[in-house]
Amino acid sequence: MNKVSFNKVRLSLAVLLCFCATSRVDAKVKLPALISDGMVLQREQPVKVWGTADAGEDIQVRFLKNATPNGVKSGKLKAVYTATADADGKWSITLPAMKPGGPYVLQVNDIELKDILVGDVWLCSGQSNMELPVSRVTDMFRDEIAAYENTEIRLLKVPNLFNFHAPQEDLPDYADWKPLTQKNVMDFSALAYFFAKAMYEKSGIPVGLINSSWGGTPVEAWISEEGLKEFPKYINDKRQYEDDAFLKSIKQTEGQSFHRWNVSLYRGDAGLHEATPWYAANYDDKDWKTVDLYSTDWGSNGLNPINGSHWFRKEVEVPQSWNGQEATLRLGCMVDADSVYVNGTFVGTISYQYPPRIYTVPAGVLKAGKNTVTVRLISNNGYPHFVKEKPYKIICGNEEVSLLGEWKYRLGAAMPPAPGMMFFCYKPICLYNAMIAPLQNYGIRGVLWYQGESNVDRRNEYAGLLTAMIADWRRTFNNPELPFYIVELADFLSKEDTGGCRAWAEMRKEQARVAESNRNTRLIRNSDLGEWNDIHPLDKKTLGNRAAESVWQDCREQEQKTKK
């Protein structure tokens, strides 16, 4: 063999060895994202552990109390459970039901998962009122939230994903379990937080929360294709979006259209291009129109809304003690977006209408005496306004200065309505595929469901759709008795909006009808906790307590039936 041939052989062997080594690495046992450090397993139900490996690979599972070599002290778990990966590389092992407790260690071949608890696991799902984080309710519960930690309450937030092709088998790797600590608490669902806290206070049992929710989404997005077979319209709608290239083209076109709209807005807005910009502290606004903060005439031409940019300036006096101090600026809520300046310094922006405007004014910006607050409000395609009965003030320590009353106003740039956007997550089936199907092997105690705002306009079919979803999820989790707790829609809209109020009341009747006609289904009263001017009412504590009390009452009734 000549030298060239020998080198070729040696290179081929090296490639082969590299391939084999890579194959061995790829064949390593892999667990789903749900099965990870810090998880909470459902008590008193068989526990499924599953994953992938190389076809034919042997799997050994050990479940240990505090990592002691003798296994669980109760003796109800064997030391080792075994399985073999099938031809597709899939495997699963079922552990016997366990009592509440922990922490445990789970060993799967060479993988070791730590700090595992056994307790009650709740699937918390729906739209924005379920997704709403603790950070958004601190106005009402700041001190209570700051004073509470409980590492026996854990949360896994399912990433917001959609899929039009098929039910998915796993979540992304970055989905992980987080304990309720001050570091993590602000990202917990506010409703789930107060619900879990109340449940733990009642039982002392660890609580696992799986938050699979997405703001604005309708019920049909959360139902499988099989579950929607009685609603062919929605299946046909979903089929329009099965081509990824089509979806990409829509988003590219939308992005270009919205970019062009914003460029045009920027170029046409005199407030950004005059020699002295309108947000500058020394800008002279004496020729501007004077308007009341809550007046609406500035946002309309008398018949239709004026979209584009609207500028507001207000001069306020602050006391000597505030000089150079950090402060908090509260500007309620606005429709739609805003950028805010204090004495010419940019202090914050929000891109859509719902979040409260809470901006920090850095130390050194405010000065004793006269100060100027400037708001550049962007209206996309509706009637621009400041939401009434929200806080509008500057706060420093225990003192505050009101921002209500008269402001100077000037139109920056009038625009046609902003281009519409397609929210694929609002389409049928896609959230079931990506955010519910991957959970199906994980044991859960029940479902807390808060959704319906996005179906009010189609409320006549909501009872049928929600009933289909309940049956669908019970089939998915292989539990025909899976409890569902349906949160009633909170009251919303002003009393003058009689048509809107009637529609919401009718929707609540549809929710009640579902609770009455389906077994193991309860309605959680919530209408009295609403706020007329906010679709996201703050009092998630009372609601969480009501949900926990309903669960607790059902538990007591079940215990009495068992005793009989």
Per-residue confidence in pLDDT tens, the chain, 564 aa? 554 444 444 444 444 444 444 433 445 899 999 999 999 999 999 999 999 999 999 999 999 876 444 444 444 566 799 999 999 999 999 999 999 999 999 999 999 999 999 999 999 999 999 999 999 999 999 999 999 999 999 999 999 999 999 999 999 999 999 999 999 999 999 999 999 999 999 999 999 999 999 999 999 999 999 999 999 999 999 999 999 999 999 999 999 999 999 999 999 999 999 999 999 999 999 999 999 999 989 999 999 999 999 999 999 999 999 999 999 999 999 999 999 999 999 999 999 999 999 999 999 999 999 999 999 999 999 999 999 999 999 999 999 999 999 999 999 999 999 999 999 999 999 999 999 999 999 999 999 999 999 999 999 999 999 999 999 999 999 999 999 999 999 999 999 999 999 999 999 999 999 999 999 999 999 999 999 999 999 999 999 999 999 999 998 888 777 766
What is the per-residue pLDDT for 74?
45
Number of CB atoms found within 10 A of residue 404's CB: 14
Could you tell me if 511 and 489 are in contact, meaning their C-beta atoms sit under 8 angstroms apart?
yes
Q: Which CATH architecture has domain 276-415?
A: Sandwich (2.60)
* pTM of the predicted protein model: 0.91
What is the per-residue pLDDT for 27?
54
The CA distances from residue 247 to 10, 219, 239, 432, in Å, are 48, 21, 12, 18
Based on DSSP, count helices (H) and strands (E) in the chain, helices before strands. 10, 25
Q: What is the rounded distance in angstroms from the CA atom of residue 134 to the CA atom of residue 157?
A: 13
What is the per-residue pLDDT for 22?
40
Task: Encode 285-310: b = buried (16+ Cβ within 10 Å), e = exposed.
Answer: beebeebebeeeebbeeeeebbbbbb
Number of CB atoms found within 10 A of residue 52's CB: 20
Which phi and psi angles does 422 have, rounded to 5°? -90, 120
The CA distances from residue 361 to 246, 370, 563, in Å, are 45, 15, 62
Pairing of strands 81-84, 392-396: unpaired
CATH 2.60.120.260 positions along the chain are 276-415
Residue 303 neighbours by CB under 8 Å, 6+ apart = none
Q: What is the dihedral of CA 510, 516, 519, 522, to 10 degrees?
A: 80
Pairing of strands 111-126, 101-108: antiparallel
Q: Which two tokens stand for residue 210?
A: 């799986």
First to last CA, the chain: 88
Residue 497 neighbours by CB under 8 Å, 6+ apart = none
Q: Which CATH architecture has domain 126-241+427-563?
A: 3-Layer(aba) Sandwich (3.40)
CATH 3.40.50.1110 positions along the chain are 126-241+427-563
SS3 312: strand
CATH 2.60.40.10 positions along the chain are 40-122
Q: What is the largest CA-CA distance in the chain?
A: 95
What is the per-residue pLDDT for 79?
73
Pairing of strands 358-361, 327-331: antiparallel
Q: The dihedral of CA 189, 194, 195, 199: what is its sign?
A: positive
- Rg, the chain, Cα only: 28
CATH class of 40-122: mainly beta
Q: Where are the alpha helices (DSSP H) in 378-492?
A: 430-431, 462-476
Could you tell me if 149 and 236 are in contact, meaning their C-beta atoms sit under 8 angstroms apart?
no
Residue 479 neighbours by CB under 8 Å, 6+ apart = none
What is the per-residue pLDDT for 69?
42
What is the per-residue pLDDT for 235?
98
Could you tell me if 344 and 280 are in contact, meaning their C-beta atoms sit under 8 angstroms apart?
yes
